Amino acid sequence: MLHGKKNVFVDGPSDDSIAEVQANNFTANILIPLQRYRLFTGKGILTGSSMSLFAESIGIAPGIVVGRLQHDRKLGFNQHNGLKVRFELNQDG
């Protein structure tokens, strides 16, 4: 959406291109408005309850908040994973 329809992006473990970083930031800020995110994280209260209430206030799933906080290294990747919803694809049809 950010760089047009003709560009193709494939995520990889070390894709640090400017376009990829911009696309990641764009998406993160669409899901969680940056100003609201900064206000929330500035309080320093990152409990399951606070994350769930914040997620509800902006209309997204709590797992998205957890993922953003983990990505931004404000939470460990082993923290609050219970707030994430996991899906398994059934390839049998």
Whether 52 shows a pLDDT value over 70: the answer reads yes
In this predicted structure, what is the pLDDT of residue 14?
A: 57
Whether 9 shows a pLDDT value over 80: the answer reads no
Q: How many CB atoms lie within 10 A of CB 2?
A: 13
**Distance separating alpha carbons of residues 82 and 91, to the nearest angstrom:** 25
Average pLDDT over residues 35-45: 96
In this predicted structure, what is the pLDDT of residue 29?
A: 85
Name which residue leads in pLDDT, 12 or 38: 38
Q: Where are the domains of the chain?
A: 18-83
Which tokens go with 4? 């047009």
Q: Is the dihedral of CA 84, 70, 76, 15 positive or negative?
A: positive
Whether 1 shows a pLDDT value over 80: the answer reads no
In this predicted structure, what is the pLDDT of residue 72?
A: 93
Hey, what amino acid is at 51? M
Residues 63, 92: contact at Cβ < 8 Å?
no
